[in-house]
Amino acid sequence: MMKRFLLQWFFPALLIMMPHISVARQDPATVQGKGDSVLGSVLEKDSILIGDQVWWNMTLPPGIWTEGIIETPEFPSLPFEITRGIEALSGVRLDSVFRKKNLESIRARILLTSFDSGSYQLPPVPVRLLRQDGTADTLWFKGPLLKVQTIPVDTTSFEPYGLKPQMRYPITTGEILALAGIVALVTGLVFLALYIIRRRRKNLPLFGPVRPKDPPHIAALKVLENMRRQEIWKKQKAKLYYTLLTDTIRVYLRDRWGMQAMELTSGEMIASLEQRQPEDPLLSGKIIEVLREMLSMGDLAKFAKYTPSESENEESLRQAVRFVTETARYEEEKEE
């Protein structure tokens, strides 16, 4: 009943009579009788543009809220015109203000807006304190002055004053140098990536001079000599031994005559050498037969699960060394 009375009769009548009440001309802290006080209130900003919003803040005195219940006026509907030209977009909200985890004060707030320019004196707002003994005190918060401004419009162009076109700054030398540096850096990184890819594809070192490649017979003899020192056939690894032996000969055939020996069978390699026999005097029938015997033994060990004896393994190695030695082209090595 008390809230309905304040909203329907007392609060609107007070707003109308406020200019004639002498209380409005007294100091905000002056006590108006027993239990009634007039307190000051502030706006977040004292002037706004049409359509802007601003909070109206009212702070309750320290400690006063600990003795009872706080009652604030309620608006029947939102937005509510609290005075001519000023609308409340929210009810009276109570917020607790803490400092270092201690309750410092309680603040009442109202969100305001206006769509008419001018200066508006906000009306006072009552806040009731209901104490435990049944008595009640009323705190009156004096309304501040709110100025609502509009944007001046040019009547000839109907555009607001004060609008400036977007500023364009000239490009400085530093910006040009920075852009050129970025372009140069990106270009350098692209060329470096292409260089690394090409060197890797050719199996070349990234930096430094390229080491001269050994002639085919030198490269093959180095591998065969290393196999002789390791004596792989004595470690019960006949298949691995003959795989390395025949692959070494395949690489030699590829580098020596240019044939795709890695993709050919033993019979196809012998047939290819016999076709080259009229053009190469080093390819005698006898040396081709030596290679045929070594490849045949390798096929038995790799595919037929045949286990050659130690003497056969050593003989296969000697045959490979003999084939490479007798077919090597030493004259081209001297020219290089």
The pLDDT, as a whole number, for residue 304 is 86
User: What's the mean pLDDT when you consider all of the chain?
Assistant: 80
Size (the chain), residues: 336
93 located within any domain:
yes
Mean pLDDT, residues 258-273: 89
Residue predicted with more confidence, 21 or 196: 196
Handedness of CA 194, 198, 201, 204 (dihedral sign): negative
Global pTM value: 0.41
Give the full edge-to-edge strand order of the sheet including 47-49: 47-49, 145-149, 118-121
148 located within any domain:
yes
Asked whether the predicted pLDDT for residue 225 surpasses 70, the reply is yes
150 located within any domain:
yes
Cα(251)–Cα(100) distance, rounded to whole angstroms?
83
The pLDDT, as a whole number, for residue 187 is 93
Mean pLDDT, residues 163-179: 81
> Predicted confidence band at 68 (pLDDT cuts at 50, 70, 90)?
confident
Q: Which two tokens stand for residue 34?
A: 């027993």
**Percent of the chain whose predicted confidence (pLDDT) is above 90:** 26
195 located within any domain:
no
The pLDDT, as a whole number, for residue 129 is 82
Residue ending a domain, among 129, 156, 183, is 156
Handedness of CA 258, 260, 266, 267 (dihedral sign): negative
Work out how many domains the chain is built from and give that number: 2
Asked whether the predicted pLDDT for residue 182 surpasses 50, the reply is yes
Handedness of CA 48, 52, 56, 57 (dihedral sign): negative
Give the full edge-to-edge strand order of the sheet including 36-39: 36-39, 136-141, 125-131, 68-71
176 located within any domain:
no
